[in-house]
Amino acid sequence: MASMFRIRCRGSDDLSLAIVGGEPVLTKANAGDDRQLWLKDLTYGAGVTDEAGSPAFALVNKATGEALKHSLGHGHPVRAVKLYLAGYVDESVLWGESEEDLGDGFRRVHMVNNTEYIFDAEEAIPDLGGARDGTRLILFRWNGGLNQQWRIAPHSALTAAAAAVPEMTENARPVRILCQSGQGLSLTVRDGTAVLACADDEDERQCWIQSFRNTGHVTDGAGHRAFALVNWATGKALRHCRDDEQVYLAGHKPDSVDVALLWTQSDDLGGGFHNIRTVGDVDTVLDAANAVPEAGGARDGTTIIVFPVHDGSNQKWKMLPFY
What is the pLDDT, as a whole number, of residue 61? 96
Give every CB contact of residue 60 below 8 A, 6+ residues apart in sequence: 2, 38, 39, 41, 66, 67, 83
**pLDDT band at residue 94, thresholds of 50, 70 and 90?**
very high
- Cβ of 127: how many Cβ atoms within 10 Å? 6
The answer to whether residue 169 scores a pLDDT higher than 60 is no
The per-residue pLDDT for range 25-52, each reduced to its tens digit, is 999 887 678 999 999 988 887 889 999 9
The per-residue pLDDT for range 289-320, each reduced to its tens digit, is 988 777 778 899 999 999 999 989 999 999 98
What DSSP line would sit under 141-153, residue for residue? E----GGG-EEEE
Give every CB contact of residue 9 below 8 A, 6+ residues apart in sequence: 15, 17, 26, 119, 121, 124, 131, 146, 147, 149, 150
For a pLDDT cut of 90, what percent of the chain falls above it? 54
The answer to whether residue 128 scores a pLDDT higher than 60 is yes
**pLDDT band at residue 156, thresholds of 50, 70 and 90?**
low
What is the pLDDT, as a whole number, of residue 85? 62
Nearest 5°: phi and psi at 9? -105, 140
**β-pair partners for 154:** 5
Nearest 5°: phi and psi at 50? -85, -175
Q: What is the mean pLDDT of the chain?
A: 86
Query: Environment class of residue 176 by beta-carbon count within 10 Å: exposed (0-12), middle (13-18) or buried (19+)?
Result: buried
**What is the dihedral angle through the alpha carbons of 290, 293, 299, 304, rounded to the nearest 10 degrees?**
30
Q: Where are the domains of the chain?
A: 4-160, 172-321
Q: Global pTM?
A: 0.58
Weakest-pLDDT range from 44-53, 55-64, 142-151, 188-197: 44-53
Instruction: Tell me if 4-160 shares its fold with 172-321.
Output: yes
Residues 203, 197 contacting (CB under 8 angstroms): yes
What is the pLDDT, as a whole number, of residue 255? 67
CATH code of domain 172-321: 2.80.10.50
Weakest-pLDDT range from 21-25, 205-209, 252-256: 252-256
Q: Can you name the CATH fold of 4-160? A: Trefoil (Acidic Fibroblast Growth Factor, subunit A) (2.80.10)
Mean per-residue pLDDT, 218-227: 89
